[in-house]
Chain A
Amino acid sequence: MKKLFNIILAVAIFAAAPAIAQSTFSIQYSMGFGNNDVKSFISSASFRGAALEYRYHIEPKFAVGADIGWNTFYERRAYDTYTSGTVSLSGVQYRYINAMPIYAAFDYYLKPDEKVNPYIGLGVGTLYTKRNTDMNLYTVENSVWAFGLRPEVGVLVNANEGLDIQLAGKYNYGFEAGGLPAQSYFTFNIGLVFKGH
C-alpha cells in the first residue's frame, strides 16, 4: 500500500508542477461500483477512491494526457463455510480489492468555449488489481496487471478563470490476466480541474 501511495504522490507532484499553457491537472474523488466478477466478489460499492489526471490540450477540442486512479472495495462476509475439494473452512471473511488504473488518455470536448463543457474520453493502459481474501490471520492474495480500457463521459463546469468543476462517469475494464477473469467497475468522479496560464 505504501508503494501505491508513493506512486500517487509522485504523479501528483509531477502533474502539478508543469502549470504551463494549455495544460490542466485534475484531482478527483471517486466512487466505485463493481461489475461482473468484481461485483460477485464484493457486492458493496466503494466510497474510497481518487483519481488524478493530467491533460495537454493540443487544440481547444482535443487533449491528450495521463490518468492514475485508485479504488478500494471492501466487504465483510458473514460466518459461512467454504469448501474446496476435501477441505472445508468456516469463518468470517474479509474481502478487499484494490484497483489502480493507469491510462494514456484522449479527450474530446464538445463546447470548449462555454461555461458547461461536456466531453467524452478514452483511456488505454493497464488496470492493476490486488484482491485479498482474509480469514483468521491468513490472506489469499492475487494481484495482476491487466491490459485496460476506460471509456468516459463527463462535463466541465467553469468556476473561474483557472478552475473547472468536473463530473465524470467512467467504466474501467481490465482484460483477463494472471488467473483473474476480466475485472470491470464503474466510477463516478467529482473533481477540480486546475488550468495552466
Chain B
Amino acid sequence: MNSKIYSLATVVLLTVLFGCYPGGAEYVNEYDITYSNYDNTYNFVSKGTYSLPDKIMKIKGDVISVNPQPPEYVKDIYATPILAQIDANMSSLGWTKVDVNSNPDVQLLPATWESTTIIYGGYWGGYWCWYYPYYCTGGGWYYPYVPVTTYTTGTLVMSMVDPNAESTDSNRRVVWTGAINGLLAGTYDPSRVSKGIDQAFKQSPYLKTN
C-alpha cells in the first residue's frame, strides 16, 4: 500500500515540477530591447548641429568582410518614417539638422542588420564611404567606449559620429550609439521600431543641447 503511495507521490511531484518549469517571453515584442551607450567625456551641450542621411544602410552577412561590397538600403517606405522619427527626437533635444556639407557638429548614421552580426570595433564604419566618400580615406571610426560587439536578428543601430574628432589613424569618434534589437516577426511592425527609437533617445538625456 505504502509503496504504491510512494510511487504515485514521486510521479506526481516530478511531473508537476518539470511540467511547470517557468517560461520566458511569450510574445515576440517582449524580446525587444533598446541599448544606448555614449562617450561621457564628450561635451554634447556645446554642440548643436547634426546631419542625417536620407537612407538607412542595410548590412547583410554575419561578419563584415575586409573588402565589403556596396551596401543595400532599406526601402524608402520603411526608412522614411524611421528617419523622420530620429529627426523629431533630435529636434526635441535641441539639435538642428543641417546638410552634411555644412560642417555639422555630429553625423547620425543609421544602419540595420537582419542577421547575427559581429561588429569589430569601428570596422564597419568603412561601409559609409559609399555615402560619404571621405570615410574611404580613413579606416572608418573608433569608439572611445566599449561598443556592443554582437547584434542579433533585427537590429537598427544609430551611430553618432563627430567627423571633426579624428584619431591619429584617421578614424572618427563615435560619441553615441543607440541600438534597437528584436526578433524579426513575419510582418514588419513599425510600432516596435518607433517605440524603440523613442526609447533610445529617452534613455539618453545627456544628448540634450542648449
**Chain A residues within CB distance 8 Å of chain B:** 1, 5, 12, 16, 27, 29, 48-50, 70, 72, 74, 81, 83, 86-92, 94, 96, 134-137, 160, 162-163, 192, 194
Task: Offer 23 A-B interface pairs, CB within 8 angstroms, sorted by A.
Answer: A29-B16, A48-B16, A48-B20, A49-B17, A50-B14, A70-B17, A74-B22, A81-B199, A83-B203, A86-B37, A86-B38, A86-B40, A87-B37, A88-B35, A88-B203, A89-B34, A89-B35, A91-B34, A92-B25, A92-B30, A134-B24, A137-B152, A162-B2
Contacts of A29 in B (CB 8 A): 13, 16
Q: Indicate whether B18 reaches chain A with its CB closer than 8 angstroms.
A: yes
| Interface residues of chain A: helix, strand, loop or mixed (majority) | strand
Interface size on B, residues (CB 8 A): 35
* A86-B145, A89-B33, A136-B33 as given contacts; A72 in contact with B13, CB under 8 Å: no
| A88 adjacent to B36 (CB under 8 Å) | yes
CB A141 to nearest CB in B, in angstroms, measures 14
Interface of B is mostly: mixed
Contacts of A90 in B (CB 8 A): 33-35, 199, 203
CB pair B203–A194 under 8 Å, yes or no, is no
Cβ of B88 under 8 Å from chain A: no
**Which residues from A are CB-within-8-Å of B188?**
none
CA gap between A90 and B145 in the complex, in Å: 19
Q: A27-B6, A83-B203 are in contact. Are A5 and B18 (CB under 8 A)?
A: yes
Q: Mark B169-184, 1 if CB is under 8 A from A, else 0.
A: 0000000000001110
Report how far A160 CA is from B36 CA in the complex, Å.
64
Which residues does B use to contact A, with CB under 8 Å?
1-2, 5-6, 9-10, 13-14, 16-18, 20-22, 24-25, 30-40, 145, 152, 181-183, 199, 203-204
- CB-CB under 8 A from A92, the residues of chain B are 25, 30-32
Determine whether the beta carbon of A81 is less than 8 Å from that of B203.
yes
Residues on the A chain within 8 Å of B9, using CB: 27, 192
CB distance from B28 to the nearest CB of A (A): 11
Contact A91 B18 (CB under 8 A): no
Is B203 in contact with A16, judged by CB distance below 8 angstroms? no
> Do B32 and A91 have beta carbons less than 8 Å apart?
yes
List B contacts of A50 (CB < 8 A): 13-14, 17
The interface residues of chain B lying within 8 Å CB-to-CB of A87 are 35-37
Contacts A90-B203, A160-B2 hold; do A48 and B22 have CB atoms under 8 A apart? yes
| Residue with the greatest number of chain A CB neighbours at <10 A, chosen from B6, B16, B38, B145 | B6
Are A72 and B22 in contact, with the CB atoms below 8 A? yes
**Closest chain A CB from B83 CB (angstroms):** 21
